[in-house]
Amino acid sequence: MFDMLKKIWQTGQVTKTLPFEEAPERYRGQLLIDPDYCNGCEECVTACPADALSFEKEESHLQLTISFAKCIYCGLCEEVCSPRAIRLTNEYLRATKNPKELTQTFKIQEKRIPMTEGGKQ
Amino acid sequence: MMTDNARTLEEMGKELQKKMKKVLGRSLHIRHVDSGSCNGCDFEMTALLNPVYDIQRFGVDFVASPRHADMLMVTGGVTRHLEEAVLRTYEAAAHPKMVVAIGACACGGGIFGESYANYGGVDKIIPVYVYVPGCPPRPQAIIQGILLALDKWYDRK
C-alpha cells in the first residue's frame, strides 16, 4: 500500500484543468486558400460533394467563391488540389452574425501555362 | 491561426455567465428545434450538457417547451414537412426570439442543398440571429454562437 501511495505522490497531477485549448491537429476546420498557388484547374469544384466551391470568370481574372454555409469540411478539395492551394486548418470558432461572412471570394490570376526550359512556352 | 482558438472553455463559460446576467438578468433557456437534420449537430448540442462541457453550471438550460425558451436553436435545413413545426415553434416562443442556426444545413443548405423538399436554410423561413457553420460545429463554437446572439440582442436596444 505504501508503494502505491509513494507512486501516486511521485507521479503528481496528470489531468489537465483546461484541456480545450485547441482542436486536435488533424481536425478538419476552416479552409485556408492561397490564391497565389491556385492554377484554376477546377479539380476542387468537381470533387466538392456539397457544391460549396465555384469558379466564375471575370474580365481579367478568375474568381473562386467558397460558401461555408454549404461546406461540410470533408477535405476532398485538399486531397485533389495538385498545387496545394487549399489547406484545412484546425480553426473552428466561426460563428457569425452577418450571413455575408459565410461566403469568401478570392481573385485568381489567369491560368498559368506551364513553362518549359529556357522560359519558352 | 490560434488567436481565437486559444480561448479556453472556462473563459468562454465565465464570459457567457457575465453576459447573460448583463443582457437578460437571469438564466438562458434554450429550445432545440430539429428541422430535418441528420442528428450530427444535435449530438454536439447534447454534448454541451455532458460532464465534459457541462454548460448548465453557467446557467444555460435546454427546455422542453418553446413557451419557456428565450432562444431557439435550429438544426437542419428546413424540410417541407417540418416547415410548419419551425414556424409554430417560432410563434410560440417567448419574446426574445433569438434564433441560432446550428450547422451548415441550417446556415444555407449544406450537403442537402435546395430542392423541392428542402428549403436550404432557416433564414428563408424565420429571421436568424447568429449562424454557426460547421458540419457539425464543435460545442465550443456553439457556445460562441450563444455569446454572439446575446451580443446582438443587447445591441438592438
* pLDDT tens readout for residues B11-65: 888 888 888 888 888 889 999 999 999 999 999 999 989 888 888 888 899 999 9
Nearest Cα neighbor of B85 from B40, B137, B122, B132 is B122
- Scanning every residue of chain B, which has its alpha carbon at the shortest distance from the alpha carbon of A22? B5
pLDDT of residue A115: 47
Q: Which three cell numbers stand for residue A115?
A: 513553362
SS3 A36: coil
User: Most confidently modeled of A18-32, A53-67, A103-117?
Assistant: A53-67
- Scanning every residue of chain A, which has its alpha carbon at the shortest distance from the alpha carbon of B2? A91
Nearest Cα neighbor of B122 from B67, B72, B60 is B72
From A63's Cα to the closest Cα of chain B, the distance in A is 21
pLDDT bin (cut points 50, 70, 90) of residue B142 is very high
> Cα dist. B66→B43, B75, B86, B151 in Å?
20, 15, 11, 21
d(CA A88, CA A33): 9
d(CA B124, CA B27): 29
d(CA B3, CA B76): 30
- Scanning every residue of chain A, which has its alpha carbon at the shortest distance from the alpha carbon of B141? A93
Contact list, A33 vs chain B (CB under 8 Å) = none
Contact criterion met (CB below 8 Å) for A63 and A55: yes
From A65's Cα to the closest Cα of chain B, the distance in A is 15
d(CA A91, CA A24): 10
d(CA B54, CA B86): 27
Question: Structure pTM?
Answer: 0.83
How much is the CA Rg of chain A, to the nearest whole Å? 22
Share of chain A above pLDDT 90, in %: 23
Is A67 within 8 Å of chain B by CB?
yes
DSSP state of B119: -
Instruction: Burial-class residue A114 by CB neighbours within 10 Å (0-12, 13-18, 19+).
Output: exposed
Nearest Cα neighbor of B132 from A13, A93, A66 is A93
Q: Is the pLDDT of residue B112 over 60?
A: yes
Is B2 within 8 Å of chain A by CB?
yes
Share of chain B above pLDDT 90, in %: 54
